Structure 1
């Protein structure tokens, strides 16, 4: 049974990842990472895999929504394009899969909450970012107290805030529909929002920020879109957006554990 479940999970994850690669949602490394995570989720149980698939489909759909417009607005700021690579995939789903496997092995409600809280945080952050970039105006910077280009880390918009809460609630609702109890639902929703809020704060105050000496733009890119090498003006160079996203999901998991304990 375990071998059949593992092979079935591998096949299903590979099919979904291949489709995502063909449609430009994932890079090749991203597709490989997604296949590994999907297989791990199925090993934990089909309900875990379905929760991950729903997260992936919703996030991918939002990424594709008005993608050309979002790319134009954020290309000078974001370090990576629309295709998610392995680091992005693992940062969003790695903790979820590990916690899910442990939860299923130990039958622990604490680990269950950690897994769902982690994924709720990833959804909250993704929804807030993707829908926030569709806001008519530019987001407001928490550190510079002025408006910055869409996609800037640590900047917020009203649409992004609502979407953040919506993303966390979405995962919590799907978890409830899949059979997890109301306690887990409540904890996951709160932890998801908490993780995404921390993501914003880390993006505003800790994440590495670079400045283009040619045009003065603050960016996440080491080589700006204008072709100029940028200078580090804030934070450690290794604290990039993937690092912040990993911390976001980790905090979502820890917050869920603290709330349910």
Structure 2
């Protein structure tokens, strides 16, 4: 029954996103599979946190879309998420959920909380920060860079990043309050879930800033041969772009996974430092 409920809920949410062009065909299939397994192996807290990320990120990606078109034109991936983006943002969380299903332990939950906070913080920073009236600065050099430049940060984006992480912590806390914890969650419930909000906020912004740093250093970047713009895409203006920096294979999806890994590790370390794990 859990598999059927998970399939129905995930298909409904992903189907709506597909109709609104927030998901591509491959993204729809990946989202349905990921959500179904997450619901079956986890609980309302795990599945709800994933849905909170997806729904909020979809909302912000559509909010004032036209005002962000110039910045987004250089991104490797558009606002229509494909399977790679879905798995980059949710795949690690699913692995942690499965690990908790096999061997229940609070460590898996804190890692999951940090991962979801990081991907949410990064997405909010990108979507909301892209509306900043001030030009972003490179997180590596501090110099002003054009909007949409990988590794560029702004005060609005950093604020949005913190808000995204806190949002995930609040959602998780509220889900625990309205659900009936299973035996595996009883221990977690006793570990002062109010701390989840602060841990998620910190882990989220750490993961998001790590994503920006890797984007400014390791992510493979190109220069358009026609317009001269620095971009994430291998093609731009209808022709191949020229590689200018970064490491081969470090595309946007890989950078997102790395940032979420750091976010998850940060949450675990914070949980250990506070004696919650």
Q: Shorter chain as normaliser: what TM range?
A: over 0.9
Q: In the alignment, is the contact (CA less than 8 A) between 2:140 and 2:213 conserved in 1?
A: no
Aligned residues: 256
Partner residue, 2:231: 219
Residues of 1 paired with 2:248 and 2:174: CA distance?
42
Residues of 2 paired with 1:245 and 1:215: CA distance?
27
1:260 to 250, 253, 271: 271
Q: Does 1:93 align with 2:90?
A: yes
Once superposed, what is the RMSD of the aligned Cα atoms? 1.5
Partner residue, 2:203: 191
Residues of 2 paired with 1:15 and 1:254: CA distance?
32
TM-score of the superposed pair, with normalisation by structure 1: 0.93
1:135 to 132, 141, 156: 132
Q: Which runs of no fewer than 5 residues in structure 1 stay unpaired?
A: none
Partner residue, 1:39: 36
Residues of 2 paired with 1:189 and 1:106: CA distance?
27
Name which of structure 1's ranges 101-110 and 228-237 shifts more when overlaid on structure 2: 101-110
Q: In the alignment, is the contact (CA less than 8 A) between 1:74 and 1:149 conserved in 2?
A: no
Residues of 1 paired with 2:66 and 2:95: CA distance?
34
Q: How far does residue 107 in structure 1 lie from its aligned partner after superposition?
A: 2.6
2:161 to 159, 164, 167: 164
Q: Does 1:237 align with 2:248?
A: yes
Residues of 2 paired with 1:167 and 1:130: CA distance?
11
Q: How far does residue 126 in structure 1 lie from its aligned partner after superposition?
A: 0.4
Q: How far does residue 255 in structure 1 lie from its aligned partner after superposition?
A: 1.6
Q: In the alignment, is the contact (CA less than 8 A) between 1:45 and 1:104 conserved in 2?
A: no
Q: How far does residue 104 in structure 1 lie from its aligned partner after superposition?
A: 4.1
Per-residue Cα deviation, 1:119-166 (whole angstroms, up to 9, x for no partner):
000010000000001112331123454333322210011110100100
TM-score of the superposed pair, with normalisation by structure 2: 0.88
Partner residue, 1:54: 52
Q: Which runs of no fewer than 5 residues in structure 2 stay unpaired?
A: 177-188, 273-277
